[in-house]
Amino acid sequence: MALGLTLSANVAHAHVASAQAGAFYAGLLHPLTAPEHVLPMVALGLLAGQQGLNQGQGLLLVFPAAMALGASLALLHPALEWVSLLNIGSAALFGGLVAAAWRAPAVLLYALALLFGMSHGYANGAAITPNLSPAVFIVGLVTAALLVLGYSMAGTAYLLRLQPAWLPIAVRVAGSWIAAVGILVFGMMVRGQ
């Protein structure tokens, strides 16, 4: 296993055409390869999709921008361990709101996206190593956030316009699964500290 990981790391280096492309992909992949970032982003996308595209689309601006801000903060003030608890807590919160099919006031929805966008950005920004360009890494990070949030929001909004009555329920069930994972891992992390 260790051997395999070493090999895959070497392969990854061989692909990198320039250090800056490396930073972009590092920023892109860092949140995408971690369920603790993907699950809350998908849940936020589901929540936004439930509100409809008109109300939800502003999140495509707010959340990635908050992530860029959070990542920049990580460069200034690294090593805040409790941010991970906020991040996994956001899976429980967003998932729970999806399960409840919460009709969110826009201001509150954007405030939540701002707060947790910053916490997710911070955790990812903490992974910027000295050999990576922070700006390029953050561009990759923002791209990842846009992709995950955009696809889950647009996909949900599309599904909810279709006829079958079980589709809105399937979305709520997905939210409750994400929330359940968030609650459990929150507990495991609290115990682990």
Partner 1 sequence: MIMNIPIPNRWQSLATLAGLLVPALALAHVGQGDIAGGFVTGLEHPILGLDHVVAMVAVGLWGAQLGSPAIWVLPVTFPLVMAFGGLLGVLGVNLPGVEIGIAVSAITLGLMVTLAVRPPLWAAGMLVGLFAIFHGYAHGGAELPESANALAFAMGFVIATGSLHVTGIIIGLINRWPWGMRSLRTGGAAIAACGLYFLVPYLAGA
Shortest distance in whole angstroms from residue 160 CB to partner 1: 15
Q: Rounded to whole angstroms, how far apart are CA atoms 98 and 130?
A: 39
Distance of CA 95 to the CA centre of its chain: 13
78 binds partner 1 (CB under 8 A): no
Window 96-115: contact mask with partner 1 (x via CB under 8 A):
x--x----------------
| Residue placing its CB nearer to partner 1 in the complex, 60 or 96 | 96
Q: Rounded to whole angstroms, how far apart are CA atoms 152 and 161?
A: 14
Q: Rounded to whole angstroms, how far apart are CA atoms 50 and 175?
A: 11
- Are the C-beta atoms of residues 75 and 128 closer than 8 Å to each other? yes
176 binds partner 1 (CB under 8 A): yes
Contacts of 165 (CB under 8 A, 6+ apart): none
Q: Strand, helix or coil at 8?
A: helix
Shortest distance in whole angstroms from residue 59 CB to partner 1: 23
Shortest distance in whole angstroms from residue 114 CB to partner 1: 22
Binding site for partner 1 (CB under 8 A): 1-2, 4-5, 8-9, 12, 26, 29-30, 33-36, 39, 84, 87-88, 96, 99, 123, 127, 166, 169, 172-173, 175-177, 179-192
